[in-house]
Chain A
Amino acid sequence: MKVLVPVKRVVDYNVKVRVKSDGSGVDIANVKMSMNPFDEIAMEEAMRLKEGGKATEVVAVSCGVSQCQETLRTAMAIGADRGILVETTAELEPLAVAKLLKAVADKEQPNLIILGKQAIDDDANQVGQMLAALLGWPQATFASKVVLDEGKVTVTREVDGGLETLALSLPAIVTTDLRLNEPRYVTLPNIMKAKKKPLDTTKPEELGVDVSPRLKTLKVAEPPKRSAGIKVPDVATLVNKLRTEAKVI
């Protein structure tokens, strides 16, 4: 069984981003970029399926600028058998990415596609669901447990009141939540091996996909700043302030 894992190159989660002074966006020049943390979890899950004998091939795919090759090399160091880069300098919205991934899935014919539940830059939480819709496949989002059987996948999902379990017929889409697994560290020998693995490059035009944006970003601003607070010396002062000053208790 073939598993496809889309991975996104994003600003590293430890970086505190700064909004550009002209309001045109956030400043991502010269900041550290990494694989989106939820996608690492997706890669890890695909590898566990392969190591458990459930999957035979794991293919990583990324859409974006040429530097996304680094993200794909990371995916191959984790263990993906090969990589596919859909190269474009265009700003890609989730709908465009879903269309590109559909075109790749049509060619590759995977049985399962595992994505992160959201990217930590646009915080959209859309691509997996959109891809499922475009392919006409069932979806299980926010997965915290995945059990693959012949012809179906059983997924436990994190929902607001607790957990729920769904059974999907294959092919299917799964998006990962944080507690699905603990991603492995990549080792130096595996980084060296990853350099020799095949990485194919294609373009949106070759896939016949129009990636022009549907949304116009008018501006990007800093969130309102909270006014500086105070440290109080003792509990009595705190309770007094909450009662008389903040009036919240």
Chain B
Amino acid sequence: MVALVIAEHDNASLKGSTLNTVTAAAQCGGEVHVLVAGHNAGAAAAAAAQIAGVSKVLVADAAHLADGLAENLAEQVLAVAGAYSHILAPATAYGKNILPRVAAKLDVAQISEITKVDSPDTFERPIYAGNAIATVQSGDKVKVITVRSTGFDAAAASGGSAATETVAAVADAGKSAFVGREVAKSDRPELTAAKIIVSGGRGIGSAENFKLLEPLADKLGAAMGASRAAVDAGFVPNDWQVGQTGKIVAPALYIAVGISGAIQHLAGMKDSKTIVAINKDPEAPIFAVADYGIVGDLFEVVPQLVAELG
């Protein structure tokens, strides 16, 4: 049994979720190989070879692999798929886009967003916005899996010494083209990798008021997140959204400010180690999952909290 991990990268460096996926792959019980498909992605491939537990890195390099187009990436995975019992990718926008194409072409089911490997053919995954955990067994010859990164520890980024092998790049499918990218700029930690997250909801009231949370996030070295209500109201960009339809996070500390705690939001953060809720409504559902709650006006509580943290 050999597992193949599809590395998520920007050609220059690996995304953190790749490391969590390597851990899940190792738990499937065999060797772990990593595929780095991109353009001028030597740095990403070198980083992949350093990951502890990886025994081989496959590198496919071509201009039409640069931007992660699903049509080309899926074909590249299929070109090397024959040797593998498990094919895994992170359950990020990147992995979710590519892997079902691979599964369909292999005529196998895909197992989405696993949170646990019970055995090489049995996996646990949340359904109904995390309100139930299903244990599923795959009878397919190849297990095609996306991995929820918060369910697995990150593999060590150094200490490995995998061999690197170049594989032939597939031809450009030519049916889609990359037009452009708008990257949201942020100096803060990445939301899905942060140890502490300060998150705001509708209760914040305006985009201007979100600035109130910045000193708190700065003090804690935290990433900033938001509920869907805050995103839909235009307070903050879409990619801040935590929840069933946004990002799934599990930091050590999650501070929910002015967030009521709808099912869809809880789906994205209820595996956090410690949850703090600041809300003026004592009946808000967020208090049912919060370890520590303060009932009060966030406009008073948040500055006090900043002051208290010194």
A: residues with CB less than 8 A from B are 11, 13, 16-17, 19, 26, 93-95, 98, 117-118, 120-134, 137-142, 144, 154, 157-169, 172, 177-179, 213-223, 226, 229-232, 234-236, 238-239, 241-242, 246, 248-249
Whether A178 and B245, one on each chain, are in contact in the complex, defined by CB atoms closer than 8 angstroms, is yes
Whether A138 and B176, one on each chain, are in contact in the complex, defined by CB atoms closer than 8 angstroms, is yes
Interface string of B259-272 (1 = CB under 8 A from A): 00001100000100
Interface stretch of the complex, out of B21-29, B127-135, B159-167, B202-210: B127-135
Distance of A63 from chain B, by nearest CB (Å):
16
Having A122-B127, A158-B93, A234-B294, one finds 8 other A-B pairs with CB under 8 Å, namely A129-B100, A130-B103, A132-B70, A141-B70, A142-B97, A220-B132, A221-B135, A223-B131
Whether A232 and B97, one on each chain, are in contact in the complex, defined by CB atoms closer than 8 angstroms, is no
A-B contact list, 18 entries, CB within 8 Å = A95-B107, A121-B128, A123-B128, A126-B112, A129-B97, A133-B74, A133-B105, A141-B70, A158-B239, A166-B176, A216-B136, A217-B135, A219-B135, A220-B134, A229-B289, A234-B304, A238-B308, A246-B274
**Given known A138-B71, A215-B137, contact A179–B292 (CB-CB < 8 A):** no
Whether A164 and B178, one on each chain, are in contact in the complex, defined by CB atoms closer than 8 angstroms, is yes
Within 8 Å CB of B289, what residues of A?
226, 229
Residue B39, interface by CB 8 Å:
no
Residue B122, interface by CB 8 Å:
yes
Main secondary structure of the interface of A (DSSP, over half): mixed
Whether B182 and A163, one on each chain, are in contact in the complex, defined by CB atoms closer than 8 angstroms, is yes
Distance of A215 from chain B, by nearest CB (Å):
5
In the bound assembly, the distance between CA atoms of A133 and B97 in angstroms comes to 11
Whether B263 and A16, one on each chain, are in contact in the complex, defined by CB atoms closer than 8 angstroms, is yes
In the bound assembly, the distance between CA atoms of A162 and B263 in angstroms comes to 24
In the bound assembly, the distance between CA atoms of A118 and B245 in angstroms comes to 9
Within 8 Å CB of B192, what residues of A?
160
Residue B50, interface by CB 8 Å:
no
Whether B100 and A133, one on each chain, are in contact in the complex, defined by CB atoms closer than 8 angstroms, is yes
Distance of B256 from chain A, by nearest CB (Å):
12
**CB closest chain-B residue, reference A102:** B104
Within 8 Å CB of B228, what residues of A?
178
**Given known A133-B101, A235-B305, contact A123–B179 (CB-CB < 8 A):** no
Whether A138 and B105, one on each chain, are in contact in the complex, defined by CB atoms closer than 8 angstroms, is no
Count the A-B residue pairs with Cβ separation under 8 angstroms: how many? 250
Within 8 Å CB of B100, what residues of A?
94, 125-130, 133
In the bound assembly, the distance between CA atoms of A142 and B238 in angstroms comes to 12
Residue B194, interface by CB 8 Å:
no
Whether A165 and B253, one on each chain, are in contact in the complex, defined by CB atoms closer than 8 angstroms, is no
Distance of B177 from chain A, by nearest CB (Å):
5
Whether B132 and A223, one on each chain, are in contact in the complex, defined by CB atoms closer than 8 angstroms, is yes
Whether A137 and B175, one on each chain, are in contact in the complex, defined by CB atoms closer than 8 angstroms, is yes
In the bound assembly, the distance between CA atoms of A217 and B182 in angstroms comes to 40
Whether A248 and B71, one on each chain, are in contact in the complex, defined by CB atoms closer than 8 angstroms, is no
In the bound assembly, the distance between CA atoms of A220 and B282 in angstroms comes to 32
**CB closest chain-A residue, reference B91:** A125
Within 8 Å CB of B135, what residues of A?
217-221
Within 8 Å CB of A231, what residues of B?
282, 287, 292-295
Within 8 Å CB of A158, what residues of B?
93, 238-239
In the bound assembly, the distance between CA atoms of A215 and B283 in angstroms comes to 41
Distance of A149 from chain B, by nearest CB (Å):
13
Distance of B228 from chain A, by nearest CB (Å):
7
**Given known A94-B109, A223-B130, A238-B276, contact A162–B239 (CB-CB < 8 A):** yes
Distance of A228 from chain B, by nearest CB (Å):
8
Whether B274 and A242, one on each chain, are in contact in the complex, defined by CB atoms closer than 8 angstroms, is yes
Residue B63, interface by CB 8 Å:
no
Whether A161 and B177, one on each chain, are in contact in the complex, defined by CB atoms closer than 8 angstroms, is no
Whether A166 and B274, one on each chain, are in contact in the complex, defined by CB atoms closer than 8 angstroms, is no
**Given known A229-B292, A232-B293, A235-B294, contact A26–B183 (CB-CB < 8 A):** no
Interface string of B116-141 (1 = CB under 8 A from A): 00000010001111111111111110
Within 8 Å CB of B105, what residues of A?
133
What 6 A-B pairs have minimum CB-CB distances, sorted nearest first?
A129-B100, A130-B104, A214-B109, A138-B175, A133-B104, A126-B100
Whether B220 and A120, one on each chain, are in contact in the complex, defined by CB atoms closer than 8 angstroms, is no
